Structures are given as C-alpha cells and as structure tokens.
Structure 1
C-alpha cells in the first residue's frame, strides 16, 4: 500500500519571500534585467492561456510578464533569478521521522508537491536531509499539473508501481491534497491529525512480511 506526502507545510517549513514579486525583481536587476515600473502588476497578472490546474513554471511566467512590458531577457537569466529568489531556510516539522517510518512499514513511499520553482523541491529535500527518503518524487512543474488535478497522483502511483486507487496521501491542504480522493485514493488531513500519529490513520497489517 503506497503512502505519499506533500512537502511544504507537511514535512517541512520553509521561509518563503513575503513579497515574491519584489524579491524576483531584485534578482532580475542583479542580473542587469530592466524591471518595469509596474512590475508588481505584471507579476500578478496571468500571461499564458493554459487549462485550469496546469502548472506554469515560474520562470516561464516571469519571462512572459517581462515580455508583456516589452522587456526581453534570456531564459537562462530569468531562470537563475527565480531560483535565487526562492532559496529558503528549511526545517523539518515535528514527527517527520515517525511518519516516514510508519509509511515505510506499509509499502513504498512517495512525495507529491505543488511547486513551480525549478530546483526548489530538490534543494529543500537536501537541506531537510530527506533526499533519500522517497521511492518516487513528483512535482507539479515536472508533471505539468497542480494538485488537485489527478495527474500528479496518477503519475506518482505509477512510479511507485501501484494504482492511484491504492494511494494514501498525507497533506495539510484539503483543497489541493484532498484531490487524491478524486482518483479513488485516501486523504489524511494534517489539520486534524499529526505526523507523529500517522500510524493510527493507516490500515492495520502494514508489517505483514508476506505482502
């Protein structure tokens, strides 16, 4: 029985920029990109016409926002600015080790995270000493859709060698993480339980050596 976890707000806390538009602007200027006077408006405005729940990588959004103000910047420069803007201090939330041990006793363990910033999930896992904790990792930027869309859950289940209907997903956001229920899986809501108590939320018999 596969168990998956959300990352930010579930397994880790991360100090993200309080004003992302301003932080990205600072990093663009540091790379000699002319930032428009109305950057806050440009940053907050959708510029790419995509279906609902499609994940637009943040560098693509930033590049489109710049183009909307007649500013051209190399894609590599924009990407580096975005990556630098989201470089948080990271810490594990209480009970992470207990929860992961409980999940492993039931089967493969995965990570399913909404994140539009390149490299942020991988850097966060390294800093939280969780790089080797998962059998599979799926991010919205990589699979193209954000939770609650079925695609992230289905992709993760496939990578774990399971069906999405078998997936138990642990998260702190009922709207996003609760999307696992739409593919027939089960949602464990960390607003009503804790990581340390996860084992009590999992089906009995996870230690069966014959499974």
Structure 2
C-alpha cells in the first residue's frame, strides 16, 4: 500500500494573506520591481487561458500581470517574490507526524497537494519538520486535484499503481478525486490524524 496526504488543511495549518495581491506587491517591491499603480486590478485579471484541470502557476501569472502593464521581470525574481508572499506562519496539525510515521510502516508515503506557488509545499513541510518520500504538487506536475493525472503522478513517484494508493485529505471535491482515479480516498472535513495513525498501525482497521 502507498499513502498520500494532502498538505494544507490536513497535515498543516497555514495563514494565507487576506489580500494576496498586496502581499505579492510588497515582495516585488522588496526586490526592486516597480509595482503598477493598478496592480490589484492587474493581479485579479486573467492573462492566459488554461485547459480544464490545469494548474496556473502563480509566478507565471505575476509575470504576465506585470507585462500587461509594461513591467518586465525575470522568472527567478517572480518565483522568489511569490514564494515570499505566501510563506507565512504555519503549524503542524495534531497527529501529523504520527500519521506520516504510521503510514510509512505500511509502505511509501507522499504529500499530494494543490498549490500554485512553486516551492511552497516543500518549504512548508521543512518549516514544520515533516517529511515524506515524495512531494507531488499541482504546480510541478501541471494538474490540480481532483484530476486523475496528479494522483497518477503521486502513485508513480512512490513506485506504486493508483489502485494501491490511499489518499488522505480534507476536501471531498478535490481529495475525493483519488477514488475517481482508481485509488482510495479518506476524506474528513477536520481529519483526526491521531485516529488515522492508529488505524494504519492496526492494519485491519486501516482507513484504506
């Protein structure tokens, strides 16, 4: 069996900026990028069409929004600014470490997360001292949960088939996609990770 966990809302709790355009503007200004006067409007506008299920990388969106106002910024600066804007306070959810450890006793473990900010999931896990055998994010693989391709990518990263994958998350709309992809989904609005860890250790009482 291979197990994957959603990141935000399942393993960790994170403070998100109330006005993301303002957080990005501040991070851009810190890096010497001139921020347009109508940046809030530019940030809210769509600057590229994406196929259904595709992830829209935030750093790309920021570069396109700036370009629409005549401001050029290189990819690395845009990437650094978007990561800095969303790299806010985070904390482990109760039982997170125990759930990962119990899952690892059963087989390989991954974090499978929707996230449009490159590097944010990895940075978040490192900050709270959690690790997994693989971290599969929508911004890296190109597809958002519930699309089956992100679950396939997660199974592939663990050397398993989708049928062997059990995914644990908090959102039935996105995390529930594991079942439609051919795997198993354990979805709770407020996951009791300590209980899930116990069930994983029990084997017969496995949530998967």
> TM-score w.r.t. structure 1 length?
0.89
* Alpha-carbon distance in structure 1 between the residues aligned to 2:133 and 2:91: 21
Per-residue deviation, 1:160: 1.1
**SS in structure 2 of the partner of residue 177 of structure 1:** coil
1:6-21 alignment runs, 5 A limit: 6-21=6-21
Cross-structure match for 1:74: 74
Q: 4+ residue runs of structure 1 moved beyond 4 angstroms?
A: 199-204
Structure 1 residues without counterparts, runs of 5 or longer:
none
Cross-structure match for 2:56: 56
* Alpha-carbon distance in structure 1 between the residues aligned to 2:47 and 2:202: 48
1:116-155 alignment runs, 5 A limit: 116-130=116-130, 133-155=131-153
**SS in structure 2 of the partner of residue 105 of structure 1:** helix
Cross-structure match for 1:87: 87
Change (3 A) 1:203 1:188: farther
Give the CA RMSD over aligned residues.
2.0
Instruction: Give per-residue Cα distances to partners, 1:80-111, cap 9 Å, x unaligned.
Output: 22122122122110111332233123221111
Structure 2 residues without counterparts, runs of 5 or longer:
none
* Alpha-carbon distance in structure 2 between the residues aligned to 1:104 and 1:30: 41
**SS in structure 1 of the partner of residue 176 of structure 2:** helix
Cross-structure match for 1:26: 26
* Alpha-carbon distance in structure 2 between the residues aligned to 1:188 and 1:141: 23
**SS in structure 1 of the partner of residue 34 of structure 2:** coil
**Aligned pair partner of 1:185 in 165, 183, 186:** 183
- 186-195 or 56-65, larger mean C-alpha shift: 186-195
Per-residue deviation, 1:75: 2.4
Cross-structure match for 1:169: 167
* Alpha-carbon distance in structure 2 between the residues aligned to 1:25 and 1:205: 49
> TM-score w.r.t. structure 2 length?
0.90
Contact 1:4 1:169 in 2 (8 A): yes
* Alpha-carbon distance in structure 1 between the residues aligned to 2:202 and 2:126: 32
